[in-house]
A and B are shown apart, each in its own frame.
Chain A
Amino acid sequence: MAKGVMIVAEQRDGALRKISLELASTARKLADQTGDEVSAILLGAGIEGLAAELGKFGVDKVFVGDNAALEPYVTEAHADATAKIIKDNDPAIVLFGASVQGKDLSARVAAKLATGLATDCTDVKVDGGKMVATRPMYAGKCFGEIVIEATPQIASLRPNVFPAAENAKAGAVTKVDVAVEAQKSKVLEVQKDTSGKVDLTEANVIVSGGRGMKGPDEFKILEELADVLKGTVGASRAAVDAGWRPQKDQVGQTGKVVSPNLYIACGISGAIQHLAGMSSSKCIVAINKDAEAPIFTKADYGVVDDLFKVVPELTAVCKKLVA
């Protein structure tokens, strides 16, 4: 019978991504409820050394598939290897990260195993021996509680929502032979973003601007505040459609759905499709001249004033606070 919780760890350039530790920690919590083991799948080239770190965050056993053909990530090669390791070990629950790679991989693997998948979950628990995964739908306008009527039960977890807590276990390495067939897809180039900014979906702090920013150059004051708070700048659809910010910065139902610790909305009125994308943020600040703006209904702290006066002052205040 299927048993235990397995995670599919994600690494890039030989380093574990933060989501992998969040997965390990969450899997540990679920497995401890039933006294089961946590195992992990780790694929790539020359990555065996990362197993110890997974162990530190609660993983008992790490299946390492080491093959030059698994680097960089190509969907079909990783999906074949991942599905095979899952089949051979028969876990009850498998957790992926809901990162770009994790979403791409988890759906393919679930289809290979003819099972169901709950994507981008913000809570998972075990109830009566079955996983119950809670996930936002309609970009967070409502939530669904998902159960999987097949084995294994698969969920992908939203980055930045589940805590990563140390809980040392063995992290014992089991090497797995991974045969990689000739691939139909080939990564030609990886072009790295050199800004040094964390992606919106993984940022702890987001400073977002909307139509009230009045133009692209005015975002400079948001960049300055974000720099002080080690955050990332986001934008509403209005600001992106006006061409003030690139598409990758858009927060909302047709952009990115984010859950940072702190979300500062500047000059954003709060169209329902924007609110949907950010309302799971832990602390929300709205700065807007219009006291009637819908954004204030979601804000923990509202400042009704001219953002062009408040934001530079706030940057100065924060500079002192974080110094």
Chain B
Amino acid sequence: MNIIACVKQVPDTEAQIKVKADGSGIEEGQIKWVMNPYDEFGVEEALKLKEKNGGDVTIVCVGPARAMETIRTALAMGADKGVHISDPAFDNADAYVIANALAAVIKTLPHDIIFCGQRAIDDDAGQVGAMLAEALNVPQLTIVTKLEYAGSSVKVIRPIEGAQLSIETALPCVVTCQKGLNEPRYASLPGIMKAKKKPVDVKNAAAIGVATDAKAKVAKTVPPPARPPGKIVCGDEPAQKAAELGRLLREEAKAI
């Protein structure tokens, strides 16, 4: 099987996000960068498929030079090779540009199935998987929590509001991964040593021949709206506090 897993490097979930004073983005100085947690599920699922069915796993990533670390992490987990699409021209790229860049590379590689995270925890856009599927003209299965491979097709579970869908799709297709799909492995020490020697192809925008002008632009980044300071509910006993809280929620907040 020829399996592709797309990864993105993002700030750790514990990161404090500080907006630049001029609103042009966030301060990156103190941030610890990690593989997008949803992409880890994609890498893990790719490795599981390979272990069961043979084949190889290629990691494709758009990101600045530091994103190489994330590609190496995926290789240390067990992926075979990587393609790093790196160019300052992608610094302000939107999902449309990224999806087309990924597609340009993936079109040159044999591919039976392509994994993405269901969203990246930085911009939270959740668009790349579907846009990539469109660019490759293949079906998409988004927000998947279970996958069974059956030769020329896959069967997946997709939770939606108040229900679960079981869907069957012909390969090739794009699958976007949700928590619950699997438990991503940690890279072993031998894995980390081996990863250093695995091939990673670095390509710039010109080499893959895609436009880099974003269709959706972040005109301004702002801090979240400030919340007015809260109240500590007074009372001697839990029952008194509960009664006072109930009163406040009813009369002041009009929340119940």
Contacts and interface: CB of A to CB of B under 8 A. Distances in A.
Decide if the interface of chain B is mainly helix, strand, loop or mixed.
mixed
Nearest to A231: B256
Contacts of B239: 309, 313
B16 A272 contact: yes
A34 interface: no
Interface string A306-320: 100110011011101
A147 to B, nearest CB: 5
Interface string B198-223: 00000000000000011111111111
A104 B255 contact: no
Contact of A116 (B138, B170, B215, B249): B215
What size tier do the contact residues of chain B reach? Answer: 35 or more
B165 A322 contact: no
Contacts of A15: none
A67 interface: no
Contacts of B228: 300
B238 A193 contact: no
A283 B180 contact: no
Contacts of A118: 216
A303 B145 CA distance: 37
B180 A247 contact: yes
Which residue, of B19, B38, B125, has the highest number of chain A Cβ atoms within 10 A? B125
A146 B23 CA distance: 12
B142 A112 contact: no
Nearest to B179: A247
Interface string A107-151: 110111011111110000000000010011111111111111110
Interface string B20-51: 00000010000000000110000000000000
Contacts, number: 270
Contact of B221 (A115, A137, A283, A318): A137
26 contacts: A76-B140, A100-B160, A107-B131, A108-B133, A110-B127, A115-B215, A119-B127, A138-B124, A139-B121, A145-B220, A146-B216, A185-B167, A185-B170, A188-B155, A188-B168, A193-B162, A247-B180, A254-B13, A254-B37, A262-B249, A279-B227, A301-B233, A305-B241, A313-B238, A314-B246, A320-B246
Interface of B: 11, 13-17, 19, 26, 37-38, 94-96, 99, 121-131, 133-135, 138-143, 145, 155, 158-170, 173, 179-180, 213-225, 227-228, 230-233, 238-239, 241-243, 245-246, 248-250, 253, 255-256
Given A310-B241, A310-B245, 6 more contacts: A75-B142, A104-B142, A110-B96, A116-B94, A202-B161, A313-B242
Interface of A: 72, 75-76, 79, 99-101, 103-104, 106-108, 110-112, 114-120, 132, 135-150, 183-193, 198-199, 201-202, 205, 229, 247-248, 250, 253-255, 257, 261-262, 271-273, 279-280, 282-285, 296, 298-306, 309-310, 313-314, 316-318, 320-322
